[in-house]
Amino acid sequence: MIAASAPAHGQAPQAQPQQPPITFRAEINYIEVDARVLDAQGKFIPDLKAGDFQVLEDGKPQAVTAFSLVNIPVERQERPLFASKPIEPDVRTNLQAADGRIYLIVLDDLHTNPMRSNRTKQAARQFIEKYIGSNDMAAVVTTAGRTDGSQDFTTSPRLLLRAVDKFMGSKLRSSTMNKIDDYNRTVGTSAAGDKPTDIDDRERGFQARNALDTVRNLSQYLGNIRGRRKALVLFSEGIDYDINDVFNNADATVVMDATRELIAAATRANVAVYGVDPRGLTSGGDDTIDIQSFPDDTSLGLGSSAIFNEVRLGQDSLRVLAEETGGFAVVNRNDFATAFQRIVDDNSAYYVMGYYSTNDKRDGRFRKIEVKLNNKSGLVVRARKGYVAPRGKAPENKSTTANSASPELREAMESPLPLPGLPLGMTAAVFKGPAPKGSVVISTLVNGSSLPFTEAAGMFKNDLEVMAMATDTKGKTTYSDRNTVNLNMKPDSANRVKATGFRVIQSMDLAPGRYQLRVAVREANSQKAGSVTFDLDVPDFAKRPLAMSSIAITSAMSGVAPTIRPKDPLEKLLPGPLSSYREFSTQDEIAFFAEVYDTIKAPHKVEIAATVKAEGGQTVFQTREERDSSERGSGAGGYGFQARVPLKDIAPGLYVLRVEGTAQIGDRETVSTDVVFRVFPAPAARQ
C-alpha cells in the first residue's frame, strides 16, 4: 500500500528510482519511441544496452540521445488481514508517478448501446480491480464529457470504480434500422422508390467526430508526460459511421479527417491506444431483435448483412486506432483476461529511446520509424510504426497557472501527473468550517536531503516557492495560493532540515463536493520542483444526523521537522503539526484528533471510541468517552475527541486506527473513520 512506503523518522519520501534517471526533452522535434524486445517464447529481454539498438526514421539513422530501461513490477495494495478490502491511505507522495504504469481509461458512451452499458462497466471494473497495481496511476474519462463520470489521475481504485459505475451509454439507434423504418413509412406512398435515409445521419457524424476529437485531445494531454509509455484503454463498440461512402454519408470526409488527426496526435505523443469492444463475441444479433422483417427489395442492402457490416465498421475502427498507435484491439472475444494481462505486460517492461529528428519540417507527413537490433538474432522488436509530423506554426505555450510563478513551479502544477523532481509527502484533513463549507488543512513535507543550501556568513540559505490549488470536478479552480518561504538558518537548523525535512501547513475553506488538491514546491538553488495530488471529498456535515471529520494525526517526532504554518486551525488542537507520513518508530508516540458532528434534535448521548488493531485483528489500544448533546450549544455542533497512543509496547507491524461515534438514541446512528499506519523497530543504540 502507499502508506507502507512512507518515510520514517519524520523524513519526506526518499526517491529510489528503479532505473537510472533519464531526462527526456519537450522540444517540438524531439521524438520518443518505446520498444519491447521478446525472445522466441515471447519473454521480454531486459539486459540490452543503448548500443544494441538502431533507430531509423524514413530509412535514415537517428542519434539516440536518451535511453532508459523501464521494468515495473505490479504491486498490490497492502491490507490488514481482518479487513475485507484495502483501507485507502490518507497520505500521498509524488514518487508513485515515477514508478508505475500510466493508464487513461476512456469510456465511449457515444458509441455504447444504452442496453449494453453494464457490459462496459463490468469490463472496465475487471481491468481496474484485477490489473491495475497499487503503484499505477490511472484516470477515467467519457467521450461525452460527463464530469460526474470522470476521475483525474489517481492511485485510488475506489475513485476509479466510482467514476465507472456512473457510466451510461448513449449510442444512437442503428443506421440500418433507421433506414428500414424509413422504407416501411414510405411503402405505398408517393415517396416509394426513393432510397431510404438515416434520420440520425448528421447527429451520428457529429458523435463520431466528438468521440475522435476527445481521444485526440486526451492524447495531446498525455504528450506532456515524457520518458514513459502511456496506455489509452478505449472501451467502445467502435465508430460505425461509414467513411467509405462519401456520397451517402454527409460527414464521411470529416470523420475520416478526425481519425487521421487522432492517429497523428497519438503517435506524436507516444500514446498507445488499446481498443476494447465490451460486446465480446458478437455478430450484431442483439440489434436485430426489434426488426420484425427486412425489406423484400434486396437491392437496398438492408438485410441482416447490413447489421453485421455496422459491427465490422466499429471493430475495424478500433483495429485501425490500435495498430497505428502501437496498441492492439480486443474484439470478438468474451474472455478479456488474456488481453488485459497483455496490456499490463506491454506497459511494464520496455525500452524508451529519445532522439532529435533530422527532419524538422512541420509538413504533417507520416514519418516511418524502425527500431532494429544490432547482431541480436532470434529476437523480435515491437515498436510503433512511426508518427505524423505536426503541421503549421508551432503553438504558443499558454499557462493556466499564475504568471508570477517560476517556470519550474508552473510545469509542476500543470503536469498531468505529479512530478517527482523534489520528493514530497502530503495529507489533507477536513473539518467543519463556516457553514456549509469544510475547513481543509493540508500538510506537505519536503524531502530534506533533496534541499541544497548555499552558505554565506555562517548561514545556510534556500528559498521555497510553494503553491496550493483546489480544482473541482468541472476543472474549475476554486482556491489557489502561492507563497515564498525564505530559509535562512544556522548550521544546526539546516542539518535538522536535511535529516527530517521541512513542513508547510496550509488551510482553505471549500464548499461540499469533490476536489483534486495539488501542491507544488520549487527550491531556488538548483531549481528542482515537485508536485503531489490528493483526491478529496468535502462532505456537507449538516446533512447527516451524525457525521465525522478526518482523523488528524501527529507524533512526537513529527514536531522535530521545522514547520511553517501561518494559518493552522489544528495548531491548538494537536500537540504537534499534522503529520504527512504513516510510519512511526516504537520510540514515538502518536496523538490524534477528530470531531463528531451531531444534528439530532432530541436530547441524547453520543459514545466516541478509538481502537488500534494489529494486522490480525487483535486490539492493542482502546479508549472511549460519552458526550451529552447539551455540549453542542446551538445549531449543529460537534464533539472534539483526542487521545495519545504510546508505541513503545507495540510490536512492529501494520495497524489500523479507528475512531467511531454512535448516537445512544433511536437507530443508533454510527459513523467511523479508519487510518492505516505502520510501526517499525527503533534504530539500534550506538555503541
Range of the structural domain that residue 364 is part of: 31-72+351-391
Task: Tell me which of 310, 331, 346 is where a domain ends.
Answer: 346
SS3 (DSSP) at 269:
coil
Share of the chain above pLDDT 70, in %: 89
| Same domain assignment for residues 113 and 255 | yes
- For residue 17, pLDDT over 50 is answered with no
Return the closest-CA partner of residue 578 out of 595, 562, 550, 558.
Answer: 558
pLDDT at 79: 67
| Same domain assignment for residues 383 and 289 | no
The answer to whether 609 touches 599, Cβ cutoff 8 Å, is no
Task: Show the cell assigned to 17.
Answer: 528510482
pLDDT, greater one: 474 or 61: 61
pLDDT at 305: 79
How buried is 600 (Cβ within 10 angstroms: 0-12 exposed, 13-18 middle, 19+ buried)?
A: middle
| Same domain assignment for residues 137 and 68 | no
DSSP annotation string for 413-455: HH-SS---SS-EEEEEEEEE-STT-EEEEEEEEE-GGG---EE
Share of the chain above pLDDT 90, in %: 66
**Cα separation, 164 vs 128, whole angstroms:** 10
The answer to whether 426 touches 532, Cβ cutoff 8 Å, is yes
| Same domain assignment for residues 341 and 355 | no
pLDDT at 284: 58
Read off the pLDDT of residues 594-625 as tens digits, 9 standing for 90 and up: 999 999 989 999 999 999 999 889 999 999 99
Residue 300 in domain: yes
pLDDT at 532: 95
CATH assignment of the domain containing 568: 2.60.40.3880
pLDDT at 74: 82
How high does pLDDT run on average in the chain?
88
**Cα separation, 458 vs 494, whole angstroms:** 11
| Same domain assignment for residues 411 and 458 | yes
Residue 401 in domain: no
Q: What are the two backbone dihedrals, phi and then psi, of residue 209, each rounded to the nearest 5 degrees?
A: -65, -40
How buried is 623 (Cβ within 10 angstroms: 0-12 exposed, 13-18 middle, 19+ buried)?
A: middle
| Same domain assignment for residues 218 and 197 | yes
Is the preceding omega at residue 436 within 30 degrees of 0, hence cis?
A: yes
Q: What total of structural domains would you count in the chain?
A: 3
Residue 556 in domain: yes
DSSP state at residue 42: S
Indicate left, alpha or beta for 10 from its phi (over 0: left) and psi (-120 to 50: alpha).
left
Burial 241-276 (b: 16+ CB within 10 A, else e): bbbeeeeebebbebbbebbbbbbbbbbbbbbbbbbb
| Same domain assignment for residues 258 and 314 | yes
Residue 1 in domain: no
| Same domain assignment for residues 126 and 220 | yes
Read off the pLDDT of residues 116-172 as tens digits, 9 standing for 90 and up: 999 999 999 999 999 999 889 999 999 998 888 899 999 999 999 999 999 999 999
| Same domain assignment for residues 334 and 365 | no
Task: Show the cell assigned to 23.
Answer: 531526462
Task: Show the cell assigned to 645.
Answer: 497512543
**Cα separation, 598 vs 639, whole angstroms:** 8
Does pTM top 0.85 for this prediction?
yes
Mean pLDDT calculated for residue range 656-666: 95
- For residue 309, pLDDT over 80 is answered with yes
| Same domain assignment for residues 312 and 385 | no
Residue 567 in domain: yes
Mean pLDDT calculated for residue range 303-327: 90
Residue 161 in domain: yes
Residue 203 in domain: yes
Confidence category of residue 16, pLDDT binned at 50, 70, 90:
very low
Residue 179 in domain: yes
CATH assignment of the domain containing 239: 3.40.50.410
pLDDT at 148: 84
- For residue 423, pLDDT over 50 is answered with yes
- For residue 317, pLDDT over 70 is answered with yes
| Same domain assignment for residues 36 and 159 | no
- For residue 686, pLDDT over 70 is answered with no
How buried is 506 (Cβ within 10 angstroms: 0-12 exposed, 13-18 middle, 19+ buried)?
A: buried
| Same domain assignment for residues 294 and 427 | no
Return the closest-CA partner of residue 479 out of 490, 487, 489, 468.
Answer: 468
**Cα separation, 449 vs 641, whole angstroms:** 36
